[in-house]
Structures are given as structure tokens and as C-alpha cells.
Amino acid sequence: MPTPRDRARLQTMQEIVEIGRRHLAEQGAAALSLRAVARDLGVVSSAVYRYVKSRDELLTLLVVAGYDELGDAVDAAVGGVPEDRHRERFLALGRAVRTWALAEPATYALLYGGPVPGYAAPGDRTTAPGTRVPRTMLEIAAAARAAGRLEPPPPARVTKALATGLDGVRDQFDVDLPDAALVRGALVWSALFGAVSFEVFGQYGPDRLGDPEDLFEHHLAALADDLGLVPARDLAEAGAAVDNTGADRRNS
């Protein structure tokens, strides 16, 4: 059971992360300063170093918190869709990524924008939280394949080096997918975050093409097709097929 001292330390760490995220949004990652955090925390700068040793340590805390928050949002969205509705689970994943990114653009930029000068994220602390979303996406694809609901991709010729990398993905995520499906998954993963980044970073222009949400739905439906997820249908035993000519959002 945590001691009062442990609880006090945890609370202080949470406050440091909250202040750091506020400074991140207001000033950007490159301008983060532990002295400024200490000032807002109401302590001398030397006191903060008992909790966070450096600016890089603070950045790592923000990176891990951001990845975990995004992963939690995706898990909640996907968890709200029945396990046998594979395409809808993927669509829920994509929408959750976009919704979170638009609500937290500064943290999204830290995770998926340009690198922070002089900072290298430690893999032993950031890889696991940073791969939660692609892991969930590949688990959806693997479940669809096991249920016979994943359209088989054309055979893919991959180099020896890429094959080794794909074996690493298979082992890390423990998913039963052939090379061609993993290649397809990697392309969908990068395309999903590319679409979200275009919107978050204003690459569609000031009017955002009029209706960025509708544009994203078209993009997301195309990515579901690219991943090989069979369009959703009503329960076969009910004998009612869903009209597949409408928007995918109606099928979720």
C-alpha cells in the first residue's frame, strides 16, 4: 500500500506533467524549461530536480503520457464495438486517433511531428506505449483473418532485410499475419497518421477543404479496404444485408 510520501510524490509528478503539457501547448517542445515548471509549481528549481532530472526526462514523461492517453482513447473506442465487427473496430480506431489528435494538437505534434532538437526518446520507455495503436490495428486484422473476414493480399516479394523486420513485428505483437498482410498493415498505419497529420498541421489549407470530417471518413473507408477488412454486414442469419453504397460511418 502506498505510503503518504509515495502518494505525495505521485501527485507532484502528475502536477509536473500537467504543467509540462501546458507549457508544451503554449511554447512548444524546444522551449520547455524545468525552471519554468518549478516556477508554476511554486517551488525552487532545485526541488524539481528531485523528481525530474533534466528537460529530456520531462520530454520523455510527456511522450509516454501522450502515447498512453492516445492508446487509452483508442482502446475505449475499439472496446465499444463487438469483437466480430472487425471493419467497424478499425473505423472506431481511426476516428479515435483523429478525435484525440485534434483535441491535443501540441502533444500530437510532440509524438508525430518534427524531432525536438537535441532530444532522443529512450526506446526502453517509449516503444511499448508508442506502438499500442498499430498493435491494436494488427490485432484487428489478425482476428479478421482468423474469422475468414480478411481479404487475402496479393503475394508480396520482400527483401531479406524487410522479411527480418516483419518477423520482428510478428514476434513483438504476437499476430498471425503473413508478410504481405504486415506490409499492407504498415502502409495503412502510416497513411492513417498521415491523414490525421495533414489536418492537425493545417496542410489542407485555411478552409480545410470545407468538410475535413467527411474527407477523413472517405480516407478511413479506403484504408479499411486497403487493410483487407471485408465490409460489414448485418447478421447473416437475420438475412439482412447492409447497403454497402452508403458511408462506412453508418455501418458502425
Q: Is residue 237 pLDDT above 60, yes or no?
A: no
Of the listed ranges 19-23, 45-49, 116-120, 172-176, the one predicted with least confidence = 45-49
pLDDT at 231 > cutoff 90: no
Average pLDDT over residues 49-69: 95
Sign, Cα dihedral of 167, 173, 178, 180: negative
Please state the rounded mean pLDDT for residues 168-174: 96
- By three-state DSSP, how is residue 229 classified? strand
d(CA 148, CA 198): 34
Decide if pLDDT at 244 tops 50. Answer: no
Q: How confident is the model at residue 4 (pLDDT cuts 50, 70, 90)?
A: confident
pLDDT at 223: 98
**What mean pLDDT comes out for the span 101-118?**
95
Cα 198 from Cα 6, distance rounded (Å)? 42
Identify the residue whose cell numbers are 473506442.
77
Give the CB-side neighbour count of residue 218, counting CA atoms within 13 A: 4
Q: Which residues, in sequence order, are bridge partners of residue 150?
A: 229
b/e string for 4-16 if b means 16 or more Cβ within 10 A? eeeeeeeebeeeb
Total residue length of the chain: 252
Question: At 133, which amino acid appears?
Answer: V
How many Å apart are CA 132 and CA 239, to the nearest integer?
37
- pLDDT surpasses 90 at 250: no
Digit-coded pLDDT (tens) for 70-80: 999 999 999 99
Question: Average pLDDT, stretch 187-198?
Answer: 97
- Mean pLDDT, rounded, for 29-49: 91
Q: Is the pLDDT of residue 249 over 70?
A: no
Mean pLDDT, all residues of the chain: 90
Lowest average pLDDT, out of 7-11, 98-102, 109-113, 174-178, goes to 7-11
Of the candidates 61, 60, 65, 134, which has an alpha carbon nearest to the alpha carbon of residue 97? 134
Share of the chain above pLDDT 70, in %: 92
Q: In terms of C-beta density within 10 A (0-12 exposed, 13-18 middle, 19 or more buried), how is residue 250 classed?
A: exposed
Residue type present at position 230: V
What sign does the CA torsion over 104, 106, 109, 110 have? negative
- Return the higher-pLDDT residue of 234 and 144: 144
Checking if the pLDDT of 42 tops 70, the result is yes
Q: Is the pLDDT of residue 235 over 50?
A: no
The confidence score (pLDDT) of residue 155 equals: 86
**Residue entry with cell 502510416:** 190
CA 93 from chain centre, in angstroms, equals 9
* Residue 66, CB-side half-sphere exposure with 13 Å CA sphere: 27
CA–CA separation, 96 and 94 (whole Å): 5
* Phi, psi angle pair for 45, to nearest 5°: -60, -35
Confidence of residue 233 (pLDDT cuts 50, 70, 90): low
pLDDT in tens, 117-170: 999 999 999 999 999 999 999 999 999 999 999 999 888 899 999 999 999 999
Q: For residue 156, what pLDDT is reported? A: 86
Q: Which residues lie closer than 8 Å to 40 by C-beta, 6 or more apart? A: 19, 22, 23
